[in-house]
Structure 1
Amino acid sequence: MKFIHTSDWHIGRQLHNQSLLDDQRHVLAQIIELAKAHQVDAIVVAGDIYDRSVPPANAVALLDDVLNQVVNELGIPAILIAGNHDGHERLAFASRQMLSSGLHIIGPLSDTVRPIKLTSASGDALFYPLPYVEPATVGHVLDCDVSSHEEAMATLLEQVTEHDSQGLPKVVISHCFLDGGSESDSERPLSIGGADKIAPQLFNDFSYTALGHLHGPQYKGQPYIRYSGSILKYSFSEQHQHKSVTLVELDEVGEVNIELLPLTPLRDVRIIEGELAQLLADGVNDPQRDDYLMVRLSDKSAILDAMGKLRTVYPNVLHLERTGLMAQTEQLAIRSDHIKKGELAMFTDFFSQVAGEPMSEEQQQLMAELLDSLHKAEDCQ
């Protein structure tokens, strides 16, 4: 059994108000070509198909086109589960009617984890789809008492463990946050305070676990407990990540072979920094000047329309930071503190000369507060 594991498509996503639909169409076409080239038996998408629960019409149209090519034109079964960004009921619309075509979409959680048996010339396997759900939902649907994501996942996995696969490999598909996973800025937290973290050891007994949610390709605990990562860089914190899909091959006894298949974006997501004049000169001959860029300018002087000047060379500058001015502001704040301390010291000396005795602690505190309020008033003017 050979399949592609991918996740976190986030169709309809924007990066700093820039639509990424064309970029997503570009890499999704690559996934289709990789599925053809490697003659896979299935494509698994482990959640966050869309970027929000009510996706825009053009995002729905893109997903419809991709699934039509995969399932109808290539005849490759596809399994999709809902992630925390997806609207579970909307994603699962007409899913029962599409089963006969080979398209398996699992939206809302049901009281029984229903395995999907896929067959191939090289061997069969059972896939257990576990869409993202809050612990309270698991407790309600399964009529049990769970209070954390880990307890909820353990309860669901009991059904997978107890199910008789008749010797076939078991593949779990889940959208969750494993403890120790490497995060980025573009992932929406599942809960506050670490209560969303799940021990990787819960998945040790399965042949492969196809995970979604974390955007960097990685595995936790065992190499077969794996995040495929997102198909694009969805924040500048991901600039050093290498995006890919995971090619998984299982033999009859569940031994797994894993290969990362790289994806090439239409435009990269990068951070560049330096002085404006140098960046503009470098950009003239930069073959990647159409990339989505965050620019950090080190110039310490004011610049009129810095963004406009940058976009004459780099048309897709999405965010600008004036790190040079920020550093200068910090130095000014430090000098201001020194001046405040000097003023208090000078007045303390003046007071002792005039009064013939040093200032009391209460008088020094009152004077310090007065000086502080005067400086704040100056800052507001």
Structure 2
Amino acid sequence: MKFIHTSDWHIGRQLHNQSLLDDQCFVLNQIIELATEHNVDAVVVAGDIYDRSVPPANAVALLDDVVNRLVNELKIPLIMIAGNHDGHERLGFASRQMNDSGLHIVGPLTQEVRAIELKGKQGSAMFYGLPYADPATVRQVFDCEASTHEEAMAKLLEQVELHDSKGLPKVVVSHCFLDGGSESESERPLSIGGADKISPKLFTPFNYTALGHLHGPQYKGAEHVRYSGSLLKYSFSEQHQNKSVTLVELDCDGKATFELLPLKAVRDVRIIEGELAQLLEQGKTDLNREDYLMVRLSDKTAILDAMGKLRSVYPNVLHLERTGLMSDKSKVELSRDHIKKGELDMFTDFFAQVSGEPMTEAQQQAMITAIDELHKAERTS
């Protein structure tokens, strides 16, 4: 049995108000190509299919196209579970009617954990979809005591352990936060105060656990308890992550082996730093100038329309930080001469940017006189 484990598609996501739908379409096409190239028996998506519980129409249309190509055209079964970003009921609409087509969607949590038997070309496996469920939901559905996410997950996994898989390997698909997992800024916290953390040991008895929620590829507790990571870099804190999907193969004994299949984005998400003049010059030869960028300017003087200047070279600058000015503030000596010098420097820069030429000595002296007169007026008022 061979399948692709992926998660956290977040279709419809924006990065600093920039739509990522085209970028997502590009990477989803790669997943379809990888599924074909590796002749997989299934594709598993471990939650956060959409970025919002009520997704925009163009996000729904993109998912519909992906599902059609995988399930109808390529005849590859697809398993999807709801994550904390998804609207469980909306995602799970008509899921019972779709089972026979090869599309298996696990939306709202039900009293009976759903077992999905998939037959592969060289073996079969039993998949158990556990949608994201907080302790309150588990208490309501199962009429039990569960005050933490770990207690809630333990209750769900009891059914998986007790279920007769007919000797087939057991694959758990879940969306949760394992204790010790590496987070990034783009993940929505599941709770406050650490109550969302779950011990990886709960999942080690199974042949493979396909996890979603954390955006960096990683494993916890054991190598077969894995996060595939997100499709794309959804925050600048993820700039050093290498995005991929996980190719999983279960042998005749149910032992899992894995391979990370890299994903290539249309545009990278990265941070660049330096002075404005330096960045504008290097941008002329930067082959990746179309990337989504956060820029940290180290200039310590005022700059007129810094964002406009940057976007003339780097069209997809999404965020600008003036680190030079911020660091300078902590070092300013509040002497009158220093304040005067700072005001003069700022006006000199402003004058040069507006007029296109530097101030003459006479103009600088006139400005110094004006600043002195302003300070005298302040002292006497």
TM-score range relative to shorter protein: 0.7 to 0.9
Alignment-derived partner of residue 21 in structure 2? 21
User: What root-mean-square deviation, in Å, do the aligned CA atoms of Structure 1 and Structure 2 show?
Assistant: 1.0
In the TM superposition, what whole-angstrom CA distance separates every residue of 1:145-203 from its partner, at most 9, and x where no partner exists? 11000000001000001111121100000000000000000000000000000000001
Q: Which runs of 5+ in 2 are unaligned?
A: 336-377
Look up the equivalent residue of 2:148 and give its one-letter code: S
Alignment-derived partner of residue 86 in structure 2? 86
- Separation (CA, whole Å) in 2 of partners of 1:280 and 1:7: 37
- Separation (CA, whole Å) in 1 of partners of 2:95 and 2:62: 17
In the TM superposition, what whole-angstrom CA distance separates every residue of 1:48-107 from its partner, at most 9, and x where no partner exists? 000000000000000000000000000000000000000000001111111111000010
- Separation (CA, whole Å) in 1 of partners of 2:17 and 2:331: 33
SS at match of 1:174: strand
Look up the equivalent residue of 2:65 and give its one-letter code: D
Alignment-derived partner of residue 327 in structure 1? 327
Alignment-derived partner of residue 54 in structure 1? 54
SS at match of 2:320: strand
Q: Aligned pair 1:98/2:98, yes or no?
A: yes
Look up the equivalent residue of 1:24 and give its one-letter code: Q
- Separation (CA, whole Å) in 2 of partners of 1:206 and 1:252: 15
Alignment-derived partner of residue 237 in structure 1? 237
Alignment-derived partner of residue 130 in structure 1? 130
Which is worse superposed, 315-324 or 159-168? 159-168
- Separation (CA, whole Å) in 1 of partners of 2:86 and 2:334: 50
Look up the equivalent residue of 1:281 and give its one-letter code: E
- Separation (CA, whole Å) in 1 of partners of 2:161 and 2:119: 21
In the TM superposition, what whole-angstrom CA distance separates every residue of 1:323-356 from its partner, at most 9, and x where no partner exists? 0000111212xx459xxxxxxxxxxxxxxxxxxx
- Separation (CA, whole Å) in 2 of partners of 1:252 and 1:164: 18
TM-score by length of 2: 0.87
CA contact under 8 A between 1:124 and 1:252: conserved in structure 2?
Answer: no
Alignment-derived partner of residue 213 in structure 1? 213
TM-score by length of 1: 0.87
Q: How many residues align?
A: 336
CA contact under 8 A between 1:168 and 1:253: conserved in structure 2?
Answer: no
SS at match of 2:85: coil
Alignment-derived partner of residue 5 in structure 1? 5
How far residue 41 of structure 1 moved from its aligned partner, in angstroms, is: 0.2
Alignment-derived partner of residue 180 in structure 2? 180
Look up the equivalent residue of 1:14 and give its one-letter code: Q
- Separation (CA, whole Å) in 2 of partners of 1:187 and 1:167: 37
- Separation (CA, whole Å) in 2 of partners of 1:204 and 1:100: 31
Alignment-derived partner of residue 356 in structure 2? none
Alignment-derived partner of residue 300 in structure 2? 300
Q: Which runs of 5+ in 1 are unaligned?
A: 338-377
Alignment-derived partner of residue 276 in structure 1? 276
In the TM superposition, what whole-angstrom CA distance separates every residue of 1:196-249 from its partner, at most 9, and x where no partner exists? 000000011000000000000000010000000000000000000000000000
Alignment-derived partner of residue 39 in structure 1? 39
Look up the equivalent residue of 2:55 and give its one-letter code: P
SS at match of 1:271: strand
In the TM superposition, what whole-angstrom CA distance separates every residue of 1:269-308 from its partner, at most 9, and x where no partner exists? 0000000001000000100000000000000000000000
SS at match of 1:50: coil
- Separation (CA, whole Å) in 2 of partners of 1:271 and 1:85: 27
Alignment-derived partner of residue 168 in structure 2? 168
- Separation (CA, whole Å) in 1 of partners of 2:3 and 2:334: 63
Alignment-derived partner of residue 228 in structure 2? 228
User: Moved runs in structure 1, 4+ residues, more than 4 A?
Assistant: none
SS at match of 1:331: coil
CA contact under 8 A between 1:167 and 1:253: conserved in structure 2?
Answer: no
